[in-house]
């Protein structure tokens, strides 16, 4: 049969695979996963192909030279192994860091190996595979090479093989081996082994080729590594048969001696003494695992099965004392279970989770450099001064005091302003592992705290899963979209489950339902993001330090587009910076003003990508027609409309503010959308003969309707002072109906910020005096005429500046927002008037006092 001459190497540590023997390998890592996937793909095909590998033993660490083929060994006095099947199954484990052959193992590979066929693959853990290989033929290693990236299985080490030539056997040696085999079978029957085990072996002796029978018997009986290596490395068939006869004769002598000793002991022990002796042995076996974790050392751990692997990993995990107790109890339990039972798999998975968590592995804080961190934040994000300042404060303190409890920061802002990417940048500047947990749509408490092990398919929660992935106990966790959590379902409240996670006083002993042991989360830096605080429960919000992120101004978007978005998209489309150039700032500004209207920059990035794709098509077509010299790499402002079509948000609407003619009853207000974008809003008031009713149109919400009623009530109560009536007892709207309209009726409008705008519109209507169209205002009033602060000041004033407004009237309590958030260029080009009462608003809006005398409220 023609065997492959180039094979992927699978090293065997302290094991030798001989032809006709089945060996079970425990392998893990990336290359092991790829090998397993190849096997499963072949199994799914209609015509299956065998997968062959080269099983090469590794030189034992205590040996300095390769074992000699002529080395004689002393007879073994150990008890024989029990034959399981004609193809003996032996367990071996491969330890590697993602590769089958490490650099150290490569130098320990011996010069002979066994061609093996993969007969079965089963998953034995999260990244552990049990691979059954059957020995086919011995070979000599001619050369070792490593596959390149252009070859199949890149990075794998391969062996170039030389196989032995067919040989004839001597009849006398073959007959001697057959006789010894029959004697071995008879001795095994004397041990009262089950027929189901002995019959296949007896059949193999009768039908198997003598060369394979010799290898099989040497694997069944007790032989040393050097003896099995001699069998593998010897190409002379007759010499192998002689060695097999020698080893088998020795084993029969050992069995005979064991029988004699057994008879002598049984003759000297009474029945009561034998029972006592066996009972003492049983108690010793049952009590042995109690101290296994306390005295465990890697060199003492058996590498024969999966439990040995768990022992080793638990020993290296540095478990806390209380967790060691739980692991000891679980190890005692799993040793009493059958591997085929479901409880055995549940216990094994639980112990794997305990061994893989980073109980005492941390990222050192000495790697923090403040200047480097500040430079990293400035390079990744433009603006966001408040967030950067808070992060630098935390880094400075943790540099001085290592055990500082990590703050829990919640970044609140509209979509696309960089909340998620900011978390990744913070992790980089702190040299910490980063893990994002998406909480949008999470509705089950078990997603946070895990499922109890009594349920089928139970697993830990998102917090513990993230810690295992990060492999350190002080990563940065980004709780993304924390305001999108479901509340009060029949699966529990996940927001309530987060209360313990986000409480620095409690999370030092966070107990996941699956683990049922405490884990210290006090070193984890939690960073939450949200678009709104309205849906976050108050107890959860109280545990977080809220930092608000505002929308970007046009100047900020222009800077971000030039320094981040355009280079990123140009590289993503495979172009060079010389093949597409945005030298004209006006072209980018046109994209921002006319094709995107958002607080962040996501739509802007998509629009830039559309322009670059258009230029890619243009360049490709010119290359195909060999007219590449005609290509114009510069994006001009007039190219934008030709590429993207008619603008989505015409500037004409914004500029209409300065072009409108002032009319009585029409006032310009300021609005703030839920997406974080500001805008202007016209309020139009009209009166007609009627019965004193108030009509409101424009898709208005309840809050703004109440503001309109409040404004009308205040104007009615102060009509005489405002010179709207000639008599203090005259009723202002007794024979009129007032209609107040907010244009763009398809857009819903609501919120407590239109009070002063409505008052000015009604006063302007009845006084027949105009307010300049270049004057805008925002603010709420009380029934007594006091001004109340409102939100979204930055977005509203920036939108007013963009629309050509020259004067903005704001409540005096919003002065801090202007000084902290507004760009300097906007403050220099707009006159901002602060007012404490509605009277001051009217004086600023009409540019002169319209009241004959002002009534003052007594505070006596």
Are 403 and 504 spatial neighbours (Cβ–Cβ below 8 Å)?
Answer: no
**574 has binding-site annotation:** no
Q: What pLDDT, in 10s, does the model give residues 660-673?
A: 678 899 999 998 87
- Is residue 851 included in any domain, yes or no? no
Are 380 and 326 contained in the same domain? no
Bridge-partner residues for 120, per DSSP?
Answer: 132
Strands 787-788 and 780-781 come out as antiparallel
Per-residue pLDDT for 506 more than 50? yes
Does some domain include residue 260? no
- Residue 543 lies inside a defined structural domain of this protein: yes
Q: What pLDDT does residue 800 have?
A: 86
pLDDT at residue 457, rounded to an integer = 84
**For the chain, what percent of residues have pLDDT higher than 90?**
23
DSSP strand pairing (434-438 vs 476-480): parallel
Are residues 159 and 54 in contact, defined by beta-carbon separation less than 8 angstroms? Answer: yes
| Domain co-membership, 581 together with 708 | no
Q: Structure pTM?
A: 0.60
Residue 315: strand, helix, or coil: helix
Domain presence at residue 796: yes
- Report whether 669 belongs to an annotated binding site: no
Residue 653 in this model has a pLDDT that exceeds 60: no
For residues 507 and 479, give the distance between their C-alpha atoms in angstroms, rounded to a whole number: 15
DSSP class per residue in 615-662: HHHHHHHHHHTT-GGG---B--HHHHHHHH-S-SS-HHHHHHHHHSPP
pLDDT for res 90: 41
Identify which has the larger pLDDT, 849 or 511.
511
Chain segment 315-342, per-residue pLDDT in tens: 888 899 899 999 888 888 888 887 778 8
Residues 71 and 183 in one domain: yes
| CA-wise closest residue to 780 among 810, 754, 760 | 754
Eight-class DSSP state of 565: I
Rounded to 5°, the CA angle 711-716-721 comes to 110
566 and 492 belong to one structural domain:
no
Query: Residue 675's pLDDT band (boundaries 50, 70, 90)?
Result: low
Residues 544 and 561 in one domain: no
What positions carry a catalytic annotation?
Answer: 753, 796
Residue among 822, 679, 845 nearest 759 (CA): 845
Q: Residues 571-592, buried b or exposed e (16+ Cβ, 10 A)?
A: eeeebeeeebebebeebbbbbb
- Do the annotations mark residue 690 as ligand-binding? no
Residue 461 lies in a domain: yes
How large is the average pLDDT for residues 354-359? 92
Specify the pLDDT at position 853: 52
Q: Please tell me the predicted confidence (pLDDT) of residue 126.
A: 64
**Which pLDDT score, from 0 to 100, does residue 65 have?**
45
pLDDT bin (cut points 50, 70, 90) of residue 399 is confident
415 marked as binding residue: yes
Q: 408: domain CATH number?
A: 3.40.50.300
Same domain, 36 and 59: yes
Lowest mean pLDDT among 367-381, 570-584, 652-666: 652-666
pLDDT digits (tens, 9 = 90+) for 141-199: 999 888 887 777 787 888 999 999 888 888 888 888 888 888 888 888 777 677 777 78
Kindly state whether residue 281 falls inside one of the protein's structural domains.
no
Q: Is residue 418 annotated as involved in ligand binding?
A: yes
Which tokens in the block code for residue 360? 């005492």
654 pLDDT more than 60? no
Q: pLDDT category, 294, cuts 50, 70, 90? A: very low
Using only the alpha carbons of the chain, give its radius of gyration.
41
- Res. 284 pLDDT band, cuts 50 70 90: very low
In a shared domain, residues 345 and 372: no
Q: Is the pLDDT higher at 487 or at 549?
A: 549
Question: φ and ψ at 275, to 5 degrees?
Answer: -65, -40
The answer to whether 111 touches 101, Cβ cutoff 8 Å, is no
Euclidean distance between CA atoms 435 and 438, whole angstroms = 10
CA distances from 311 to 244, 400, 533, 536 (A): 36, 39, 48, 44
What local confidence, expressed as pLDDT, does residue 174 receive? 87
User: Rounded CA gap, 633 and 619, in Å?
Assistant: 9
pLDDT at 92 over 80: no
Task: Report whether pLDDT(403) > 50.
Answer: yes
d(CA 331, CA 321): 15
154 and 216: one domain? yes
For 794-851, write each residue's pLDDT tens digit: 888 888 887 788 899 999 999 998 988 887 888 888 999 999 999 999 999 987 666 5
Q: If you average pLDDT over residues 697-706, what whole number do you get? A: 89
Confidence band for 488, pLDDT divided at 50, 70 and 90: low
411/546 Cα distance (integer angstroms): 6
What CATH code is carried by the domain that includes residue 700? 3.30.230.10
- Do residue 624 and residue 746 come from a single domain? no
Provide the pLDDT for residue 838: 92
Domain boundary among 520, 548, 576: 548
In the sheet that holds 831-835, the strands lie side by side as 694-697, 736-741, 678-689, 666-672, 775-777, 807-811, 831-835
What CATH number is given to the structural domain containing 581? Answer: 1.10.8.60
| 666, containing H or E segment | strand 666-672
C-alpha 752: how far from chain center: 40
Across the chain, mean pLDDT equals 81
Predicted local confidence at residue 759, as pLDDT: 94
Based on the structure, what is the number of domains in the chain?
A: 5
Same domain, 199 and 347: no
Q: Average pLDDT in the 524-553 region?
A: 87
Whether residue 433 lies inside any domain: the answer is yes
Q: pLDDT tens, 230-282?
A: 999 999 999 999 999 999 888 888 777 656 544 444 444 445 544 554 455 45
- State how far the Cα of 701 lies from the Cα of 839, in Å rounded to an integer: 27
pLDDT confidence of residue 68 = 41
Q: Are residues 505 and 410 in the same domain?
A: yes
Cβ atoms of 295 and 337 closer than 8 Å: no
Q: Which residues contact 389 (CB under 8 A, 6 or more apart)?
A: none
Domain boundary residue, one of 496, 522, 548: 548
d(CA 353, CA 339): 18
Is residue 273 a part of any domain in this protein? Answer: no
Contacting residues for 150 by C-beta, under 8 A, at least 6 apart: none
Q: Enter the tokens of residue 96.
A: 């590697």
Q: Residues in the chain, how many?
A: 860
User: Which residue, of 586, 615, 644, is where some domain finishes?
Assistant: 644
- Is 790 annotated as a binding-site member? no
Structure confidence at residue 300 as a pLDDT band (50, 70, 90): very low
d(CA 755, CA 721): 19
399 CB-contact burial (10 Å; exposed 0-12 / middle 13-18 / buried 19+): middle
What is the pLDDT at residue 807?
93
Q: CB neighbours of 788 closer than 8 A, spacing ≥ 6?
A: 752, 755, 779, 780, 781, 782, 811, 813
The DSSP result for 296-314, as a single string, is --GGGS--SSHHHHHHHHH
Q: Cβ neighbours of residue 501 under 8 Å, at least 6 residues apart? A: 448, 463, 507, 510, 521, 526
Q: Work out the pLDDT band at 659, boundaries 50, 70, 90.
A: low
* Phi, psi angle pair for 116, to nearest 5°: -130, 145
In which domain, by residue range, is 296 found?
286-356
Considering only 138-142, 299-303, 611-615, 770-774, which range has the smallest mean pLDDT?
299-303
692 is in an annotated binding site: no
CATH number at residue 213: 2.30.130.40
Quote the CA–CA distance of 597 and 446 in Å, as a whole number. Answer: 39
417 annotated as ligand-binding? yes
Residue 737's DSSP bridge partners are 688
Are residues 369 and 401 part of one domain? Answer: yes
Please determine, for residue 41, whether its predicted confidence score (pLDDT) is greater than 60: yes
List the Cα angle 709/710/716 in 5-degree steps. Answer: 90
| Residue 374: per-residue pLDDT | 87
């Amino acid at each position: 049969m023609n065997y492959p001459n180039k094979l992927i190497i699978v090293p065997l540590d302290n094991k030798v695979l001989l032809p006709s023997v089945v060996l079970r390998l425990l392998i893990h890592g990336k290359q092991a996963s790829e090998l397993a996937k190849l096997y499963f793909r072949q199994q799914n095909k209609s015509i299956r192909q065998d997968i062959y590998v080269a099983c090469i033993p590794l030189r034992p660490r205590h040996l300095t030279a390769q074992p000699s083929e002529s080395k004689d060994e002393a007879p073994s006095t150990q008890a024989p192994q029990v034959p399981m099947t004609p193809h003996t199954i032996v367990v071996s484990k491969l330890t590697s860091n993602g590769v089958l052959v490490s650099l150290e193992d490569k130098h320990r590979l011996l010069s002979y190996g066994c061609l093996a066929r993969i007969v079965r693959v089963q998953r034995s853990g999260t990244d552990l595979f049990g691979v059954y290989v059957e020995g086919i033929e011995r070979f000599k290693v001619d050369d070792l090479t490593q596959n390149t990236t252009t070859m199949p299985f890149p990075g794998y080490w391969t062996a170039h093989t030389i196989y032995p030539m067919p040989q004839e056997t001597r009849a006398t040696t073959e007959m001697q081996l057959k006789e010894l085999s029959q004697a071995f079978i008879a001795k095994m029957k004397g041990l009262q082994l089950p027929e189901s085990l002995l019959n296949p072996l007896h059949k193999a002796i009768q039908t198997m080729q003598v060369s394979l029978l010799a290898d099989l018997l040497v694997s069944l009986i007790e032989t040393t590594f050097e003896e099995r290596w001699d069998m593998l490395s010897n190409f002379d068939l007759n010499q192998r048969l002689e060695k097999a006869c020698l080893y088998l004769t020795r084993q029969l002598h050992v069995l005979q001696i064991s029988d004699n000793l057994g008879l002598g002991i049984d003759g000297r022990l009474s029945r009561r003494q034998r029972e006592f002796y066996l009972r003492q042995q049983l108690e010793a076996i049952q009590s042995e695992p109690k101290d296994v974790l306390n005295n465990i050392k890697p060199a003492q751990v058996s590498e024969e099965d999966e439990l040995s692997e768990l022992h080793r990993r638990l020993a290296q995990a540095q478990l806390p004392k209380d967790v060691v107790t739980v692991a000891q109890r679980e190890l005692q339990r799993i040793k009493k279970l059958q591997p085929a039972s479901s409880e055995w798999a549940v216990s094994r998975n639980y112990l794997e989770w305990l061994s893989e968590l980073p109980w005492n592995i941390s990222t050192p804080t000495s790697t923090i450099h403040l200047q480097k961190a500040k430079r990293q934040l400035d390079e990744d994000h433009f603006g966001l001064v408040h967030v950067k300042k808070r992060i630098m404060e935390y880094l400075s303190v943790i540099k001085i005091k290592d055990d500082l409890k990590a703050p829990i920061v919640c970044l609140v802002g509209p979509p696309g302003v960089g909340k998620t990417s900011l978390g990744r940048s913070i992790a980089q500047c702190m040299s910490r592992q980063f893990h994002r947990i998406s909480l949008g749509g999470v509705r089950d408490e078990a997603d946070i705290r895990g499922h109890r092990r009594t349920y089928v398919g139970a697993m830990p929660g998102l917090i513990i899963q993230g810690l295992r992935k990060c492999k350190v106990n002080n990563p940065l966790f980004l709780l993304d979209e924390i305001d999108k959590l479901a509340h009060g379902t029949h699966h529990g409240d996940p927001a309530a489950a987060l209360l313990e996670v986000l409480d620095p006083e409690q999370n030092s002993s966070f107990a996941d339902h699956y683990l049922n042991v405490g884990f210290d989360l006090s070193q984890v830096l939690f960073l939450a993001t949200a678009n709104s605080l309205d849906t976050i429960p108050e107890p959860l919000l109280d545990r977080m330090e809220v930092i608000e992120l505002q929308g970007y101004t046009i100047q900020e978007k222009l800077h971000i587009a030039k320094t981040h978005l355009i280079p990123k998209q140009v590289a993503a489309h495979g172009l060079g910076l010389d093949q597409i150039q945005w030298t004209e700032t006006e072209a980018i500004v046109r994209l921002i003003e006319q094709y995107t209207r958002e607080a962040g920059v996501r739509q802007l990035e998509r629009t830039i990508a559309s322009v670059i794709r258009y230029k890619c098509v243009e360049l490709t077509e010119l290359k195909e027609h060999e007219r590449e010299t005609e290509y114009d790499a510069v994006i001009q402002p007039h190219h934008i409309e030709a590429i993207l079509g008619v603008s989505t948000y015409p500037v004409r609407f914004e500029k209409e503010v300065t072009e409108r003619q002032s009319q009585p009853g029409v006032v310009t207000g300021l609005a703030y959308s839920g997406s974080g974008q500001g805008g202007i809003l016209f309020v139009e008031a009209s009166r007609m003969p009627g019965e004193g009713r108030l009509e409101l149109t424009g898709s208005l919400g309840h809050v703004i309707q109440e503001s309109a009623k409040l404004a009308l009530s205040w104007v009615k109560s102060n009509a005489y002072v405002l010179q709207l009536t000639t008599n203090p007892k005259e009723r202002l709207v007794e024979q009129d109906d007032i209609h107040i309209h907010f244009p763009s009726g398809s857009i819903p409008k609501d919120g407590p910020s239109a009070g002063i705008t409505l008052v000015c519109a009604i006063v302007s209507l009845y006084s027949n005096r105009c307010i300049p169209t270049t004057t805008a205002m925002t603010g709420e009033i009380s029934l007594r005429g006091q001004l109340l602060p409102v939100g979204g000041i930055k977005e509203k004033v920036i939108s007013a500046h963009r629309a050509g407004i020259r004067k903005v009237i704001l409540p005096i309590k919003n002065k801090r927002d202007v000084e902290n958030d507004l760009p300097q260029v906007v403050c220099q080009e707009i006159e901002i008037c602060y007012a404490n009462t509605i009277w001051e608003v009217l004086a600023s809006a009409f540019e002169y006092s319209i009241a004959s005398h002002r009534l003052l409220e007594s505070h006596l």
